[in-house]
Amino acid sequence: MTAFDNGIALQPAGERLLRGRTVPEWANMVGPFGGITAAALLRAIELQPDVHGQPVALTVNYLAPIVEGDFEISTRAVRTNRSNQHWFVELSQDGDVLTTATAVFGVRRDTWGDTEPASPSVPAPAEVPVGPDKGPTWMRNYDMRYVTGAIPDAGDGESASSETTLWVRDNPPRPWDFAALTAVCDIFYPRIYLRLGRPLPAGTVSITVYFHADSDALAAQGDDHVLATARAQQYSSGHFDQAAQIWGTGGRLLATSHQIVYFKG
Amino acid sequence: MTAFDNGIALQPAGERLLRGRTVPEWANMVGPFGGITAAALLRAIELQPDVHGQPVALTVNYLAPIVEGDFEISTRAVRTNRSNQHWFVELSQDGDVLTTATAVFGVRRDTWGDTEPASPSVPAPAEVPVGPDKGPTWMRNYDMRYVTGAIPDAGDGESASSETTLWVRDNPPRPWDFAALTAVCDIFYPRIYLRLGRPLPAGTVSITVYFHADSDALAAQGDDHVLATARAQQYSSGHFDQAAQIWGTGGRLLATSHQIVYFKG
């Protein structure tokens, strides 16, 4: 069991109900890393005996911080069609709903395909040093190699661009699956840190992941680094957005993701 | 009452329950235009007496086609915090759930703000001709002026880019509000038509809207055209994504939006 497997471990706890537990290795500034929570919610669906197809879309809304201890995840198959299935999922502690998610699973078929944007032109993972050991605890569960936009140091000052691009894989290495791909979509520290050159209170309100890779594409990725890149578009009235791409070996887009982040300041 | 107002008209039908009705002016190829359905779901939340804050994020999942006739929308305030509120909404016909949505509303505060990408450099709306009268019925409810990427004609052939950029406002003109902004995020015909140069069966599975404009910014926009631009990133295994920006007068991002679309072929 790697740190990632521990973070998303779920036990049956009744009809459409699973029980998990926060683990200290995934601690963020407040509660656990949002990516591991999103991954656990996806995994809860994957564990349902009647799950139909593979993940296509996941939206996770963070309602309130999860505290240390047990949590329950309830899953509801809202509708099952021939080619897809729609889910609504809730994570709660002591009956208090703290996270919700909707997910679409779909039967994957061979069709015409294309990747429209060019993948970032960057050196290979082995040529990029592992980032400094800083940031919240959960970051130790990743091998992160920043190409651009590393966490700013005091004195770095403002930046005109919020772009961060890094090579990343689980630490210790672990073969990619849909849960791990979900978590890595949330790998980026808040874009506003980079723009303003300093940390400030910020937290994801809602994240959406679109899964472009099917299980074969994930198997082909093995446990190799993926190239993760993100930038914000608009900052206003206490929120900003983030658009992210997760590139696999050979310049294939494994996932695209978006989130809206609350900030103070 | 404009066509848009008719499309999102809802009547009280019980505790947390509203009733609407499909109108022929909003007909799409199958069922109503997804954007009007998304707008009605948002409006259902806005009509709740205990609604707290303004729209921040909305994700709508399309489970099955809505048929002609009445529908019901049930709303559930999953959690109300001091600075935001989380909703889960379901649209059904005869007890059959056909559309679901999650939404985050938030209290907007004055903060540091910035628009990071440059707005597209395009001629003013008056200098761009109104597009040809084609496409599904609902498109007549918009004044659409394509700058690039209009609906392809037979014989136009494939395109290397899926980008469409157009000036758009309601027809007849109607002041922008959050519901109208929601609908316009879904204004784009399927990107794969443009890439392949021909229509094929395709439909939105899930759409997310991030609202960057607050009510003041929308009031300032009046009923002027907004500049809407979209492109796809990845096409694979029967799905593609779409990333969209809705620009207001003066180069401000009013909304960013993403969707994942099913296609056959």
State pLDDT tens for residues B127-168.
999 988 889 999 999 999 999 999 999 889 999 999 999 999
A181-210 residues touching B, CB cutoff 8 A? 195-196, 205-206, 208, 210
B88 to A100: CB separation less than 8 angstroms, yes or no: yes
Q: Are B167 and B125 in contact (CB under 8 A)?
A: yes
pLDDT in tens, B205-232: 999 999 999 999 999 999 999 999 999 9
Query: A2 to chain B nearest CA, in Å?
Result: 30
Percent of chain A exceeding pLDDT 90 equals 96
- The pLDDT-based confidence of A243 (bands split at 50, 70, 90) is very high
Q: Identify the domain containing residue B226 by its residue range.
A: 3-107+122-263
Residue A28 pLDDT > 90: yes
- The pLDDT-based confidence of B246 (bands split at 50, 70, 90) is very high
Helix (H) or strand (E) holding B93: strand B84-93
Residue B197 pLDDT > 90: yes
Average pLDDT in the A228-232 region? Answer: 98
pLDDT at A97: 98
B82-118 core/surface letters (b: 16 or more CB in 10 A; e: else): eebbbbbbbbbbeeebbbbbbbbbbbbeebeebbbee
B81 to A59: CB separation less than 8 angstroms, yes or no: no
Domain membership flag for residue B211: yes
Domain membership flag for residue A116: no
Domain membership flag for residue B114: no
Nearest CB to B117; choose among A233, A238, A239: A233
Lowest mean pLDDT among A14-18, A200-204, B52-56, B131-135: B131-135
Domain membership flag for residue A173: yes
pLDDT at B27: 97
B205 to A84: CB separation less than 8 angstroms, yes or no: yes
Q: What is the domain-level CATH number for residue B207? A: 2.40.160.210
pLDDT at B154: 86
Report the alpha-carbon distance of residue A54 to residue B221 in Å, rounded: 42
A63 to B56: CB separation less than 8 angstroms, yes or no: no
Domain membership flag for residue A167: yes
pLDDT in tens, A157-192: 999 999 999 999 999 999 999 999 999 999 999 999
Residue B104 pLDDT > 90: yes
- The pLDDT-based confidence of A75 (bands split at 50, 70, 90) is very high
Residue B265 pLDDT > 90: no
Residue B220, chain A, CB below 8 Å: the answer is: no
* CB-CB neighbors (< 8 A) of B90 in chain A: 78
pLDDT at B131: 86
Residue A214, chain B, CB below 8 Å: the answer is: yes
pLDDT in tens, B24-47: 999 998 899 999 999 999 999 999
Report the alpha-carbon distance of residue B32 to residue B30 in Å, rounded: 7
Domain membership flag for residue A144: yes
Residue A80, chain B, CB below 8 Å: the answer is: no
Residue B82, chain A, CB below 8 Å: the answer is: no
Report the alpha-carbon distance of residue B52 to residue B21 in Å, rounded: 26
DSSP states along A123-154 = --GGGSPPPPS-SSGGGGGEEEEEEE-PPPPT
- The pLDDT-based confidence of A265 (bands split at 50, 70, 90) is confident
pLDDT at A186: 98
pLDDT at B132: 87
A112 to B78: CB separation less than 8 angstroms, yes or no: no
A84 to B262: CB separation less than 8 angstroms, yes or no: yes
pLDDT in tens, B112-123: 999 999 999 999
Nearest CB to A102; choose among B61, B114, B260: B61
* CB-CB neighbors (< 8 A) of A234 in chain B: 113-116, 210, 212, 253, 256
Residue A12, chain B, CB below 8 Å: the answer is: no
Average pLDDT in the A105-109 region? Answer: 96
Report the alpha-carbon distance of residue B204 to residue B190 in Å, rounded: 8
Percent of chain A exceeding pLDDT 70 equals 100
Residue A131 pLDDT > 90: no
DSSP bridge pairs for B91: B73, B99
Query: What is the complex's ipTM, to 2 decimals?
Result: 0.97
* CB-CB neighbors (< 8 A) of B208 in chain A: 59, 206, 208, 258
- Number of domains comprising chain A: 1
Residue B113, chain A, CB below 8 Å: the answer is: yes
Residue A152 pLDDT > 90: yes
Domain membership flag for residue B115: no
